[in-house]
Structure 1
């Protein structure tokens, strides 16, 4: 097996920010960056590949003060480079692409004062990416590739960068497993509201659900779809303490849901969906995680925030304190695209403590509610938008996670046609992995076949 190419970096900068971003860029390219005074690695040997960071001279990458630990304030407007890349963090010798990468991955702008939305979230509209038109581009991957091209121009014998295959990853937030069934007195009150509102079709569906189907009970059909395309899904379960308008699945949950969680744990990945109120009461994260562990019979270390409600650095610190090692909340509720500029998982950098942490961040491309409610897209237009995001990964490859809800196929709740679109979409995205689909069609959602 060939060894990883090592690239020596000569620089006066020794800040943790620079070490962090060089490690991430190196991991993506398949190289290892070492500082020139790391004698435990190099000893007296001269490096085969050596570059400078900052200063002047040949083989020098520009240095921006952001990677020296300075507070540089809001990023300047992006410019287009000669090869069409949006760039900022400008220096007198050009853009510092390493600093651009750090700015996006660290979520630097989210530490500044901002006007939150009604759920306390940083909005896409306030982001540098939206204001400069690059939210739908995996710019961190693009900048990394540009650095790789520069390195190979300097060192023609340097091996080609690592290549990644496209990997579709379906993920689901289970806020409420059933629309009607197992709802007790709450379901009865909702039925009365349907009648008073003149929503007869929903009332009839509610009655039928007691005997036949429930419009939110789509997991069996989703699992059929995953098996057909050899996909492994991740399910995030909301197990809130009490109920409110945002936490609609109070614990304890029905035995049927417990059995489903246990069954899915054998064939899919399981994560907690911390309740809306956990943002104000972080102890709830640990309580809800332990509940899920007891039901699933396994250790739970993955999480995604309900309503994508998180603030930096507090939420990520709280998740880490309660045993979470992988968070899947990195995306916007109000716009689809790459919030951190990348589709690759990356370690969270705590900007206030100036250190890389053990929490891994998993970005996602788009959410169903974002496409339909915030962006106002039809199901057909939403499918096309997702395909465009996937195509944007181009030669970069890597994971392509989508965030969906089991409830986002219910025709009575405004989702007519979305199941058919989703089945087609999953087939197309799974096919990009080189998986050959069989001829069997998936069962309809809402069935109790499994």
Structure 2
């Protein structure tokens, strides 16, 4: 609580404000980073920043100048087309372009409803499918694929981009050396089949908070592997 007040009153840098570092990294690689910002209403499950705050809007606009920006859809938009549509419109008003990518809060999916709603709103790519606490291939592949609606027996235009590693999964591995080993093994597996490695990191992953020590090194390994491809 003390640290929070120190940040609020301007006496201390916000440890979660790592966007300058991330954008500098973006400038060093031709591969575009994909950001997802939450702009849904405050709720029991979603406690994001109010989209009415000008600094937050300014941040999203600034990031969109360098990186791709998508929507981190709220918990209650999971099954509610009206809420998802409202959030999509909000984001489009901020970035001044058509929203094409999304990712669900908590990586939750209610199939086929979640994907049908995205198709309805002409969202082109989703990054929700993956394991939060484990490394692996939730869809059994590391190649993006189009959602096939079994009920209607049609291939939809929604591309499912599964992720294979979230930052939290590496917290279960104690040493930085073992984290690097697990990451390099994953990279090798994906390269063997000419797949597309998708990793989910958060802004706080790059902070100076102790639990995230070494994650900048891990991120560099990912970037180096992408540049070698």
TM-score normalised by L of structure 1: 0.47
Q: How does 1:349-368 map to 2 (within 5 A)?
A: 349-368=148-167
User: In 1, Cα distance between the equivalents of 2:77 and 2:165?
Assistant: 24
In structure 2, the partner of 1:378 is: 174
Higher RCO structure (Cα 8 Å, ≥6 apart): 1
* Corresponding residue of 2:32: 232
- Which structure has the bigger radius of gyration? 1
Cα deviation digits, residues 134-187 of structure 1 (max 9, x gap): xxxxxxxxxxxxxxxxxxxxxxxxxxxxxxxxxxxxxxxxxxxxxxxxxxxxxx
In the alignment, the residues of structure 2 paired with residue 359 and residue 277 of structure 1 have an alpha-carbon distance, to the nearest angstrom, of 21
* Contact persistence 1:243–1:250 (CA under 8 A): no
1:358 Cα deviation (Å)?
1.3
SS in 2 for 1:359: strand
Report the Cα distance in structure 2 between the residues aligned to 1:424 and 1:268, rounded to whole angstroms.
Answer: 17
1:402 aligns with 2:199: yes
* Mapping for residues 320-339 of structure 1, pairs under 5 Å: 320-339=119-138
Paired residue secondary structure (1:273): strand
Aligned residues: 227
2-structure distance, mates of 1:344, 1:329: 14
CA 359–204 in structure 1, closer or farther in 2 if over 3 Å, else same = closer
- Segments of structure 1 that go 5 or more residues without pairing to the other structure are 1-190, 192-202, 434-450
SS in 2 for 1:348: strand
User: In the aligned structure 2, how far is the partner of 1:252 from the partner of 1:208?
Assistant: 20
Shift of 1:208: 4.4
Structure 1 426/224 Cα, relative in aligned 2: closer, same or farther at 3 Å? Answer: farther
Residues 214, 397 of structure 1: CA spacing in aligned structure 2 closer, same or farther, 3 A cutoff?
same
Match of 1:270 in 2: 69
Give how far 1:280 is off: 4.2
Structure 2 runs not aligned, ≥5 long? none
Runs of 4+ in 1 over 3 A off after TM superposition: 409-412
Is 1:261 the equivalent of 2:34?
Answer: no
Matched, 1:387 2:187: no
Give the CA RMSD over aligned residues.
2.1
* 1:284 Cα deviation after fit: 1.1
SS in 2 for 1:333: coil
